[in-house]
Amino acid sequence: MTTSTLPSADAPGTSPAPAATPHRETSEEQTVLVAGATGMLGARIATHLLHAATDGVDVVVSAVQGGYDVIVDGQVALAEAAAGNGVRRILPSDYALDLFKATPGEHFNFDLRRQADEAIAGTGLEHVHVLNGAFMDGFVGSYGGRLDHAGRTATYWGNGERPSTLPPSRTPPATPPAPSWTGP
């Protein structure tokens, strides 16, 4: 067995230890990061935190983005936690064209949101769908690029007969669109 002695921070030829980052003042509200929230233990911790986060809340507004694990599993878990804590209403992350008029299979993200909405309906929560049209950024921005200025073409969903609005995602409308109410 070999034993080594580490030099102290003030020994010649060593660098002083970095100064510790000061901790924020402790308050009743804290921000918590759960790394591994999809794992066995992490999922249990995340579920507990969801229940704690929805305690005393009247309305949950979800603005999540992602795949099945976020849009369906995550939002349904949030809605179930909210319902268990007596929350009255949820606004699921449906900010889009009227996904309920789209043909199933026409748009993958609409299908995920519809699936989440069906499960959320089973929680008994009132739910409000904010159907504000497609975000303009999806047509002209870096994540969609549906307008091809050089080719003078535009790509869109549907047959081109359905009217659509294109609000920017960075600036919420001063007057939000009329919500679609469903639920008890």
Could you report the per-residue pLDDT of 84-107, keeping only the tens digit for each? 999 999 999 988 778 888 889 988
Q: Tell me the whole-structure pTM to 2 decimals.
A: 0.62
Mean pLDDT of all residues belonging to the chain: 75
Domains assigned to the chain = 40-182 (3.40.50)
**Is the model's pLDDT at 178 over the cut of 60?**
no
C-alpha 101, offset from chain centre: 23
* Closest residue by Cα to residue 129 from 158, 95, 87: 95
Q: Can you tell me the mean pLDDT for 74-85? A: 94
Per-residue pLDDT band at 80 (split at 50, 70, 90): very high
Torsion of Cα atoms, 128 then 134 then 136 then 142, to 10°: 110
Q: Can you tell me the mean pLDDT for 24-46? A: 77
The answer to whether 15 touches 22, Cβ cutoff 8 Å, is no
Q: Can you tell me the mean pLDDT for 65-92? A: 92
